[in-house]
Homo-oligomer: A and B are copies of this chain.
Amino acid sequence: MLHSVKNYRDTKALSEIRKLIQDSSIALSHAEILSMLNGLCDRVTVYRILERLVKENIIHKIINVDGVLKFASCNQCKQEHEHNHIHFSCEKCKMVVCLNDISPVFQMPTSYVIKQMNFTVAGLCPACA
């Protein structure tokens, strides 16, 4: 796991949110995390912790088809942060999952500088199909 650069401190809210995301097989939204925390901390704190974890490359941000932000852990990421896999967003149960093994192949014009990618396929997940 990549290490903190700054003097980050270990708090109950931080470790709990980190655990929630790491233990989840699907990506979680801010609202979902907040309710799972059961009042452990404030709404604003969740925003700030998620922001930190993204910055630290411990979790990554996914936008589902409804425009809702979801967060998932970066287990599959090696040294380099790799996000060029596909995310699947179920239209029925709203779950979002990383399909880490599937990397789309495409050719960008050289005039563009690529920094990040967000590939989302939406439809029905195996459970809802």
Give the interface of A toward B (CB within 8 A): 63, 65, 67, 69, 86, 88, 91, 99, 102-109, 111-126, 129
Contacts and interface: CB of A to CB of B under 8 A. Distances in A.
B113 A123 contact: yes
A95 to B, nearest CB: 12
Nearest to A122: B116
Integer count of this chain's copies in the complex:
2
A65 B63 contact: yes
Contacts of A67: 63, 67, 69
Contact of A115 (B106, B111, B112, B122): B122
30 contacts: A63-B63, A63-B67, A63-B118, A65-B116, A65-B118, A67-B67, A91-B115, A99-B108, A99-B109, A102-B106, A102-B107, A102-B108, A104-B105, A108-B121, A109-B126, A111-B126, A112-B124, A112-B126, A112-B129, A113-B123, A113-B129, A114-B121, A115-B122, A115-B124, A116-B121, A117-B119, A117-B122, A118-B118, A118-B119, A118-B122
